């Protein structure tokens, strides 16, 4: 019996202390309220530091919690609830707030059954509330991330076969409902017939694993719209049930469309819709490997630059699209057409003999002549076509195109508006190299040291070079036989076979690496010629800025020269290039000024620093009054524009003599 009493007194007091439970005891008849020592310690007070008044707890309660805490006690005293249970904050001695869970109830009533005494305990739940707050912050960020990404959440209970879709999931599927619970077979009814079986199999997530499965599929909304969606799903085990499948879903239709557009852009020319150069090369390599005979056509438009000069680049674009449509209309079903760049096209025709090839070439010539050049054009277009027959599976793509290209040159030399068939006996090129081999040799020369840089001094008239200290960077190719190959031979080949941009980058990097300190000190400025391919390179300025950072050469010490031909090829790109150059304080010159019909239009559109008068007006200036008048007019035009200076190239024979 003594042991029983001990447990009723000290034992339970010790148990409450060890459990860190603060006890309160409120006598409703006297208003007195007792608080245990542990209750005071929970708030940082020692024994006797707090006056045991009936409203002590209310004085220490956070103002925002008082009404709720009082109401909880009043409802219980009134018999509306079976116990008191509420969460509130009490002020700690340090001034901080302690979260407590308050639980208690009536322990004594009078003869009439009215409550006269209440007891209860309070537990410190501050750490729990902090964890709940942190979890809520995580949930807020999670919900924000879901909202920003347009992701919906769903889950399917395997035991009850009930499915739940949040609001975003219902929006994605176009399902209108007020609750998250949806019919268990609803999802299946949205699946695209072609994707249904594979998608349902993918959603059978392996049970008892931690694997996350990603699935992309199509759905058909009730209005017939087809959308692409992506789901991430995972099995969640539950000891009390069969578990559930938890998943996310987001609409990826726009991403799929961009993916398809990028895939199309990787294979097709944006202007004409024909294959691009890379795709044509791959297709040609495949057909050559089959060893079936085929014909390769190289089509180069005649008079296209004149069309651009007279009618503008918009008319040129219209003409290119019209030519492409005409070419496609001539081709047999097994043939393929590509735009290689600028005004050059290529055709691949399997199982095409000599007679068929000549007939097709005639049809293409007619289609080009019938193409719509625009109302402002003064003359019709024409084409020069080269044909190469390929039957040897060891032939490379470059050689096949080079042979057709050589034949195209022969057609131009014979008077244009005609076709020529490749013959090894009449192949063009330098030292036995055709154009493609010359382009390939240029790439090799960058690596084996056979590409040499020269500097052409730019003088102010009548002044020594020391006053300008500006040089134009020129490249010369040393052939494998040691002969110096002039730019008039290897640069057109580089442009034709897509290595001109690589060549320009090599020249810029090499020159700035060699002369960066001189440029930084102001002892030298350099000018670089840029091809049309480089002008159209969207990563050009990233490259230039990176090389400048590496070499220490200032932007202001660098100039770029663009020709009318390059500007015609991509007028928009040329405008953007000049704008970005000016932003970086690089100098820009318009080269070959006066050679085209649109020269003064380009001068108006491009805020250049200098114009370089075309050499054809300088070569015979001493003998030709006409040339002197043209040069004089151009100089006057250049000087009347602010910040623009005219530059005249030196006599060709003198320049070539010095380079030798």
What are the pLDDT digits (tens) for 11-32? 666 777 777 889 999 999 988 8
Q: Provide CB contacts within 8 A for 161, sequence distance 6+.
A: 184
Per-chain mean pLDDT for the chain: 82
% of the chain residues with pLDDT over 70:
81
Assess whether the region 273-428 and the region 436-659 belong to the same CATH fold: no
Quick one: residue 292, left, alpha or beta (phi over 0 = left, psi -120 to 50 = alpha)?
A: beta
The segment with the largest mean pLDDT, out of 253-262, 353-362, 559-568, is 353-362
Residue 260, CB half-sphere, CA atoms under 13 Å: how many?
Answer: 7
Strand order in the sheet with 294-302: 336-341, 344-350, 294-302, 382-390, 418-421
Which DSSP string corresponds to 293-354? -EEEEEEEEESHHHHHHHH-HHHHHHHHHHHHHHHHHHS-TT-EEEEEETTEEEEEEET--H
Confidence of residue 76 (pLDDT cuts 50, 70, 90): very high
Tell whether the model's pLDDT for residue 265 goes beyond 50: yes
What token pair was written down for 626? 């006409």
Report whether 72 contacts 85 (CB < 8 A).
yes
Q: Indicate the pTM of the whole model.
A: 0.44
For residues 274 and 345, what is the distance between their CA atoms, to the nearest angstrom? 9
Confidence of residue 646 (pLDDT cuts 50, 70, 90): very low
**What pLDDT is stored for residue 652 in this prediction?**
42
Q: Which tens digit of pLDDT belongs to each residue from 104-129?
A: 999 999 999 999 999 999 999 999 99
Strand-strand pairing, 525-529 and 558-563: parallel
CB atoms inside a 10 Å sphere around CB 542: 10
Given CA atoms 99, 105, 107, 108 in this order, what sign does their dihedral have?
positive
CATH class of 150-257: alpha beta
For residues 598 and 315, what is the distance between their CA atoms, to the nearest angstrom? 14
At the second CATH level, the architecture of 436-659 is Alpha-Beta Barrel (3.20)
For residues 127 and 587, what is the distance between their CA atoms, to the nearest angstrom? 67
Domains of the chain, by residue range, sit at 19-126, 150-257, 273-428, 436-659
DSSP element (H, E) containing 11? none
For residues 156 and 161, what is the distance between their CA atoms, to the nearest angstrom? 7
Confidence of residue 385 (pLDDT cuts 50, 70, 90): very high
**What pLDDT is stored for residue 372 in this prediction?**
76
**What pLDDT is stored for residue 549 in this prediction?**
92
Query: Looking at 56-60, 96-100, 440-444, 548-552, which range is the least confident one?
Result: 440-444
Q: Which tens digit of pLDDT belongs to each residue from 590-605?
A: 776 555 544 555 556 6
Which DSSP string corresponds to 545-586? HHHHHHH---GGGEEEEEEHHHHHHTHHHHHHHHHHHHHTT-
Tell whether the model's pLDDT for residue 644 goes beyond 50: no
Angle formed by the axes of helices 435-448 and 487-496, to 10°?
100
Report whether 130 contacts 98 (CB < 8 A).
no
Angle formed by the axes of helices 304-311 and 313-330, to 10°?
140
Query: How far is residue 301 from each of residues 3, 83, 323, 346, 393, measured CA to CA in Å?
Result: 114, 95, 9, 11, 30
Q: Which tens digit of pLDDT belongs to each residue from 412-459?
A: 767 789 999 987 654 444 333 466 667 777 888 888 889 999 988 887
Q: 456, exposed or middle or buried, with CB in 10 Å at 0-12, 13-18, 19+?
A: middle
Tell whether the model's pLDDT for residue 621 goes beyond 70: no
The residues pairing with 34 across neighbouring beta strands, listed in sequence order, are: 25
Residue 649 DSSP code: P
Strand-strand pairing, 558-563 and 344-350: unpaired
Report whether 574 contacts 613 (CB < 8 A).
no
| pLDDT, mean of residues 302-324 | 83
Confidence of residue 4 (pLDDT cuts 50, 70, 90): low
Nearest 5°: CA angle at 229, between 227 and 231?
160
Query: Looking at 3-17, 111-125, 373-387, 636-650, which range is the least confident one?
Result: 636-650
For residues 240 and 403, what is the distance between their CA atoms, to the nearest angstrom? 76
For residues 40 and 28, what is the distance between their CA atoms, to the nearest angstrom? 21
Query: Looking at 32-36, 138-142, 536-540, 594-598, which range is the least confident one?
Result: 594-598
Residue 646, CB half-sphere, CA atoms under 13 Å: how many?
Answer: 20
**What pLDDT is stored for residue 558 in this prediction?**
93
For residues 93 and 235, what is the distance between their CA atoms, to the nearest angstrom? 49
In CATH terms, 19-126 corresponds, of 1.20.1050.10, 3.30.450.20, 3.20.20.10, 3.40.50.2000, to 3.30.450.20
Say how far residue 29 (Cα) sits from the centre of its chain: 78
**What pLDDT is stored for residue 651 in this prediction?**
44
For residues 411 and 395, what is the distance between their CA atoms, to the nearest angstrom? 23
What token pair was written down for 636? 């006057």
Report whether 618 contacts 611 (CB < 8 A).
no
Report whether 274 contacts 283 (CB < 8 A).
no
| Start-to-end CA span in the chain (Å) | 124
Tell whether the model's pLDDT for residue 130 goes beyond 80: yes
**What pLDDT is stored for residue 536 in this prediction?**
78
Domain 273-428 CATH assignment equals 1.10.3210.10? no
Query: Looking at 27-31, 118-122, 204-208, 274-278, which range is the least confident one?
Result: 204-208
Task: Give the CA dihedral 353, 357, 359, 361, nearest 10 degrees.
Answer: 180
**What pLDDT is stored for residue 119 in this prediction?**
93
**SS3 breakdown of the chain: % helix, strand, coil, rounded to 5?**
45, 25, 30
Backbone angles phi, psi at 75, to 5 degrees: -65, -40
Tell whether the model's pLDDT for residue 654 goes beyond 80: no
For residues 422 and 512, what is the distance between their CA atoms, to the nearest angstrom? 42
**What pLDDT is stored for residue 216 in this prediction?**
93
For residues 152 and 167, what is the distance between their CA atoms, to the nearest angstrom? 7
What token pair was written down for 624? 């030709």
């Amino acid at each position: 019996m003594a042991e029983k009493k001990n447990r009723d007194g000290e034992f339970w007091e010790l148990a409450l202390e060890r459990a860190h439970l603060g006890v309160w005891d409120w006598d409703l008849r006297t208003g007195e309220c007792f608080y245990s020592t542990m209750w005071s310690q929970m708030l940082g007070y020692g024994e006797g530091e707090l006056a045991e008044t009936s409203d002590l707890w209310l004085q220490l309660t956070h103002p925002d919690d008082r009404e709720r805490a009082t109401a909880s006690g009043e409802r219980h005293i009134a018999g509306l609830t079976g116990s008191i249970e509420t969460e509130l904050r009490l002020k700690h001695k340090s001034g901080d707030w302690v979260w407590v869970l308050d639980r208690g109830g009536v322990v004594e009533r009078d003869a009439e059954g009215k409550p006269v005494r209440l007891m209860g305990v309070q537990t410190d739940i501050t750490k729990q509330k902090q964890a709940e707050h942190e979890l809520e912050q995580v949930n807020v960020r999670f919900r924000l991330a879901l909202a920003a990404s347009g992701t919906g959440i769903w889950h399917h209970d395997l035991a009850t076969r009930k499915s739940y879709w949040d609001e975003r999931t219902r929006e994605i599927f176009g399902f209108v409902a007020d609750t998250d619970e949806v019919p268990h077979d609803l999802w299946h009814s949205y699946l695209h017939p072609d994707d249904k079986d594979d998608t349902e199999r993918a959603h059978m997530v392996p049970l008892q694993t931690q694997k996350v499965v990603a699935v992309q599929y199509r759905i058909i909304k009730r209005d017939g719209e087809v959308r692409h969606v992506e789901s991430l799903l995972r099995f969640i085990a539950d000891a009390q049930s069969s578990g559930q499948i938890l998943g996310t879903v987001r609409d990826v239709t726009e991403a799929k469309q961009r993916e398809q557009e990028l895939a199309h852009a990787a294979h097709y020319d944006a202007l004409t819709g024909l294959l691009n150069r890379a795709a044509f090369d791959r297709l040609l390599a495949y057909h050559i490997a089959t060893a079936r005979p085929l014909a390769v056509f190289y089509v180069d438009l005649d008079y296209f630059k004149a069309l651009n000069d007279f009618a503008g680049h918009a008319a040129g674009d219209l003409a290119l699209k019209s030519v492409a449509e005409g070419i496609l209309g001539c081709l047999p079903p097994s043939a393929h057409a590509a735009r290689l760049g600028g005004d050059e096209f290529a055709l691949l025709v399997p199982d095409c003999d000599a007679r068929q090839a000549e007939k097709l070439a005639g049809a293409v010539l007619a289609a080009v002549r019938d193409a719509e050049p625009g109302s402002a054009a003064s003359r019709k277009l024409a084409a020069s076509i080269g044909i190469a027959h390929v039957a040897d599976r060891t032939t490379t793509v470059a050689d096949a195109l080079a042979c057709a290209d050589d034949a195209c040159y022969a057609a131009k030399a014979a008077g244009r508006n005609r076709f020529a068939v490749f013959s090894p006996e009449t192949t063009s090129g330098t030292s036995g190299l055709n154009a493609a081999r010359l382009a390939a040799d240029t790439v090799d020369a960058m690596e084996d040291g056979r590409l040499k840089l020269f500097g052409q001094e730019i003088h102010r008239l009548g002044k020594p070079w020391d006053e300008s200290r500006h040089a134009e960077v020129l490249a010369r190719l040393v052939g494998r036989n040691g002969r110096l190959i002039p730019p008039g031979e290897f640069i057109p080949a580089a442009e034709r076979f897509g290595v001109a941009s690589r060549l320009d980058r090599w020249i810029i990097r090499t020159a700035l690496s060699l002369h960066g300190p001189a440029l930084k000190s102001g002892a030298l400025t350099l000018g670089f010629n840029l091809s049309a391919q480089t002008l159209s390179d969207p990563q050009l300025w990233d490259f230039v800025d990176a090389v400048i950072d590496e070499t220490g050469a200032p932007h202001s010490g660098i100039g770029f020269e663009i020709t009318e031909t390059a500007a015609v090829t991509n007028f928009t790109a040329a405008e953007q290039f000049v704008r970005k150059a000016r932003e970086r304080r690089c100098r820009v010159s318009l080269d070959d000024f006066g050679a085209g019909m649109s020269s003064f239009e380009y001068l108006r559109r491009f805020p250049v620093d200098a114009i370089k008068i075309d050499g054809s007006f300088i070569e015979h200036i001493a003998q030709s009054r006409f040339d002197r008048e043209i040069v004089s007019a151009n100089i006057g035009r250049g000087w009347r524009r602010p910040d623009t200076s005219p530059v005249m190239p030196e006599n060709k024979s003198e320049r070539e003599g010095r380079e030798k």
